[in-house]
């Protein structure tokens, strides 16, 4: 884990970046839009027991995987996790993609495996957004 020797520089960089991020265009998710997320079912922070043959994963078990796990723990995500400086708040993130191809491309990048094996050992959640009335 890298360390920061000039905390004032870190706080200044964080403040400047946050100001820029406030102006970043965002995509409003419309009702019915599909999102995908991959995870390691054998990891301690995203454990998911394999269902018996002919059965499925319960919604209760799947919903636990929608809770960001890195707000207080260091999971080596680039943009979220605990802060080791009191002037910079911790941030939790739930990383999803809108396209299956993006999920495969990201897995290929991090695992180094070719496309057909990029998600080996991973589970994929397919979610749909909904509107509350």
- In the chain, domain spans: 29-128
Calculate what percentage of the chain has a pLDDT beyond 90.
Answer: 27
Instruction: Please give the pLDDT value at position 100.
Output: 93
What pTM was estimated for this model as a whole?
0.70
Q: How far apart are CA 3 and CA 27, in angstroms?
A: 34
Instruction: Please give the pLDDT value at position 2.
Output: 67
- Mean pLDDT across the chain, nearest whole number? 87
Q: Is the pLDDT confidence value at 133 over 70?
A: no
Strands (E), the chain: 34-39, 123-128
Q: Is the pLDDT confidence value at 62 over 70?
A: yes
Q: Is the pLDDT confidence value at 25 over 80?
A: no
Whose tokens are 């999803």? That residue is 96
Asked whether 69 and 75 are in contact (CB, 8 A), the reply is yes
Q: And the tokens for 36?
A: 């995908």
- For residues 10-29, give the mean pLDDT: 82
Whose tokens are 């939790």? That residue is 92
Residue 93 has phi, psi (to 5 degrees) of: -140, 140
pLDDT for 68-106, tens place per residue? 888 888 888 777 888 888 888 888 888 899 999 999 999
């Amino acid at each position: 884990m890298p360390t920061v020797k000039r905390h004032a520089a870190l706080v200044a960089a964080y403040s400047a970046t946050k100001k820029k991020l406030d102006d970043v265009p965002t995509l409003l998710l419309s009702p019915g839009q599909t999102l995908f997320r991959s995870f390691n079912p054998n990891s301690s922070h995203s454990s998911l027991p394999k269902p018996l043959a002919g059965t499925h994963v319960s919604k209760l078990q799947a919903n636990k995987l929608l809770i960001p796990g890195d707000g207080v723990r260091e999971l080596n995500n680039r943009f979220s996790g605990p802060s080791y400086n009191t002037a910079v708040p911790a941030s939790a993130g739930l990383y999803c993609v809108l396209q299956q191809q993006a999920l495969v491309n990201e897995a290929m990048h991090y695992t180094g495996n070719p496309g057909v094996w990029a998600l080996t050992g991973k589970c994929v959640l397919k979610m749909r957004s909904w509107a509350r009335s």
